[in-house]
Every structure is written in C-alpha cells, then in structure tokens.
Structure 1
Amino acid sequence: MIRPPTLFNSAACRSAELLHQELRHDGVSADVHTGYGLALVSVWVGLVIWCDGERFWWRTGWNADRRRVIYAWHPATDPRGAARRITMRYAELRSRQTFEPS
C-alpha cells in the first residue's frame, strides 16, 4: 500500500525549535517553518537549514567541476554544535553582503 507523505514530523519540528533557540542565544534571528515531514530554519539569504529530525543540513558552496551544491550537515541531537557552525556561516555570508546606497 502506498501512503501519502507525512505532513508533520514532530521530531523535525522539535529539533528545529531547539536549533532556533540556540541561534537566538547567539544573537541570530531565524524563522521556523514545518511541513511535508521536514522543518526549515530560515536564517539569511542563502542560509536555510533543513531538518528531518535526525540531522540538520545547509548549503555551504558550489562545486564548479561537478556543477553541484556542497552541503554541510550536523546531527540533530547536537543543536548547540550545529548553531555554532551555522552562526559562523551566517557571519561569513553577512560579511560578503554589500549594500548599495540609494
């Protein structure tokens, strides 16, 4: 029997909320969105963290030779460690941001 995808994954939501709290503790604003078995933590342009309840993963770059996105991942059982890594990525992305005067 084929089952439709689960729309809600409580483990993913719980893990994303814990990550959200840790990021807020580090002074990083984020939003949490859930659905279709995943939770997303939206931090900055180009920095969205996905969670399935077992791991967090996010885009870190581009491999031009293979023409593929490069991802980092971290176990969802360690939201503090993930938050530290994501905070460093956030700082890196913000430092690259240039603002044009109006």
Structure 2
Amino acid sequence: MAVEWDGVRGLDAALARGLDMALEALKDDAVARSPTESGELDRSAVIDSDGRVGSVEFTAEYAAIQERRRDFEHDDGGPGFLASALADLPIEQIVGEQLRREIGG
C-alpha cells in the first residue's frame, strides 16, 4: 500500500491561502482605521499577491499623506492606519495555521 502526498504543492497552496487571508485581514483592519470622509480612501485599498509575496496598498492620490501626517485631525481614523494595522496583525499565526492544517498538525 502506498500513500502519496505532494507536500511541496500542498504547502505552496497552504502558504498562498494563508497569505491571502492575512492580506485580506490587513486590508480590512487598515480600512477600519483609516480616516473616512468621502470613502474614497477606503475604496482605494487594493491587494496584490502572487501566492508567495503580497501587499496592501491605498491608491488614492492623498493616501501616503494621510498615512504619514501626524498633524491632521479626523473624527474617525487617523495617521498610521496601514502601519499600525500591519504591526497588530499576527501574520505568522494566520499563515502558520494554514500550513499546520495542510500537514495535519
């Protein structure tokens, strides 16, 4: 009796799933932390991923200014919305859970 397991392919798929889940969580958290006046900044959040490397970006023209300027005041959200969301996100746990599931741990 033989047992076949394509470990590399399975781990690659698990890594991609974990990365996608982490990027989606990062995007959602950053949008929740961003200043929202017109909603344009929130709607400009995009995810790019190739399954191994990914990013979350806000493409609105003023996104970088809103992220970095500490002297702006808003009723909701504020500066550092993307950086703080990234700092608080347990990326390793999200990706690691998908890898554990793949290997049966």
Whether TM-score is above 0.5 comes out as: no
Q: TM-score range by the shorter chain?
A: 0.3 to 0.5
Structure whose residues are more often strand by fraction: 1
TM-score (norm: length of structure 1): 0.35
Higher relative contact order (CA 8 A, sep 6+): 2
Which structure: larger Rg? 2
